[in-house]
């Protein structure tokens, strides 16, 4: 399948093509300075920047025009410049749910949506990306909230316009009892599954993800990491990225987001292959 990817990067970051892939590089950054290097296929390329904070930024497609639906398979090789890098990095599919980018990130004004994802992701502390606190029903398995993991989110389709009034209620998240209640409600509405991955990410590894209507399967170096019936709703967009941001909604009801001080870092990806069956 032909892959058309558009780079997005903050000043000082680079997205460089290698012989068999790409290197996504972000420079060292101070706290509250957003650093991003990204490739995706849901941004139409354009010359120049639409916002001063970004380079190589195009017009984002509406979610209804994202390209991918099951059955769909992703394969690639990847390695990182260092383990436990501050912020997040990864590759896979999502619906770009935080369309307002939590106030940083320079995205266009797309309204938020409930998450639909299937991806490999690393999220350093203080990220907290799980809504479920206890084990999954009928299992002793708890879901990782940060670290390196394979994960899926499946949510009901709710029109984005319905989220607009909810934006006015964001100050209520400062009230811990209300925030905890909303988090419990989110855990009942948003289905998720995930499994931690324990590999040396500074070495090359082969990653694959199969997305079917009835579930998803993730492997690393041919070994199964996660096989789940939890399948996100299409259509979704492909994204590969490294940045220094965090987002957290903790079991105690604390809501936080922002950027972290980070060293210079890179993510290298090669032999990217997508198959539609």
- The answer to whether position 1 is within a domain reads no
Mean pLDDT of 192-215: 98
E strand intervals along 53-116: 59-60, 72-80, 88-94
Q: What is the DSSP letter of 139?
A: S
Taking the C-alpha atoms of residue 138 and residue 221, their distance in angstroms, rounded to an integer, is 29
- Using 50, 70 and 90 to split pLDDT, how confident is the model at 160? low
Q: pLDDT higher for 176 or 228?
A: 228
Position 113 scores a pLDDT of 86
- Of 11-20, 26-35, 92-101, 267-276, which gets the smallest average pLDDT? 92-101
- The answer to whether position 168 is within a domain reads yes
E strand intervals along the chain: 6-9, 14-17, 21-26, 36-40, 43-44, 59-60, 72-80, 88-94, 117-123, 147-154, 191-196, 205-212, 215-220, 223-228, 237-243, 245-249, 255-259, 265-276
Closest by CA to 213, choosing from 152, 165, 255, is 152
Q: How many CB atoms lie within 10 A of CB 111?
A: 15
Question: Which range marks the domain in which residue 201 is found?
Answer: 6-276
| CB of 33 closer than 8 Å to CB of 259 | yes
Position 141 scores a pLDDT of 87
**Model confidence, pTM:** 0.90
DSSP 3-state of 166: helix
Structural domain count, the chain: 1
Mean pLDDT of 47-64: 58
CATH of the domain at 29: 2.60.120
- The answer to whether position 228 is within a domain reads yes
Mean pLDDT of 77-89: 97
| CB of 237 closer than 8 Å to CB of 99 | no
- The answer to whether position 108 is within a domain reads yes
Q: pLDDT higher for 161 or 265?
A: 265
- The answer to whether position 257 is within a domain reads yes
Element containing residue 176 per DSSP (H, E): helix 176-189
Digit-coded pLDDT (tens) for 103-134: 334 444 567 889 999 999 999 999 999 998 88
Q: Which residues does 236 contact at the CB level (< 8 Å), separation at least 6?
A: 66, 68, 69, 93, 94, 95, 116, 117, 118
What are the phi and psi torsion angles at 188 (to 5°)? -85, -25
- 266: exposed, middle or buried (C-beta count within 10 Å: 0-12, 13-18, 19+)? buried
Longest distance between any two alpha carbons in the chain, whole Å:
53
């Amino acid at each position: 399948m032909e892959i058309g990817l558009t780079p997005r990067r903050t000043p000082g970051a680079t997205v460089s093509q290698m012989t068999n892939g790409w290197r996504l590089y972000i420079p060292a950054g101070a706290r509250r300075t957003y650093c991003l290097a990204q490739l995706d296929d849901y941004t139409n390329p354009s010359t120049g920047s639409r916002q001063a904070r970004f380079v190589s930024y195009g017009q984002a497609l509406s979610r209804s025009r994202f390209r991918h639906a099951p059955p769909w398979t992703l394969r690639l090789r990847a390695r990182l410049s260092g383990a436990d890098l501050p912020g997040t990095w990864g590759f896979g599919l999502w619906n770009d749910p935080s369309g307002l980018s939590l106030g940083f990130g320079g995205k266009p004004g797309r309204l938020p949506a409930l998450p639909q994802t299937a991806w490999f992701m690393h999220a350093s502390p203080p990220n907290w990306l799980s809504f479920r606190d206890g084990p999954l029903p009928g299992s002793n398995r708890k879901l990782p909230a940060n670290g390196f993991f394979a994960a899926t989110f499946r949510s009901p389709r709710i029109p984005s316009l319905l989220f607009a009034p909810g934006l006015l209620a964001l100050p209520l998240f400062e009230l811990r009892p209300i925030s905890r209640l909303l988090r419990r409600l989110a855990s009942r509405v948003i289905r998720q599954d995930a499994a931690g991955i324990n590999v040396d990410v500074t070495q090359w590894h082969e990653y694959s993800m199969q997305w079917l209507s009835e579930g998803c399967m993730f492997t690393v170096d041919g070994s199964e990491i996660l096989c789940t019936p939890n399948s996100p709703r299409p259509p979704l967009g492909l994204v590969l990225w490294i940045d220094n941001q965090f987002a957290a909604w903790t079991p105690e009801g604390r809501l936080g987001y922002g950027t972290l001080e980070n060293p210079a870092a890179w993510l290298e990806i090669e032999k990217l292959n997508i198959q539609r069956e």
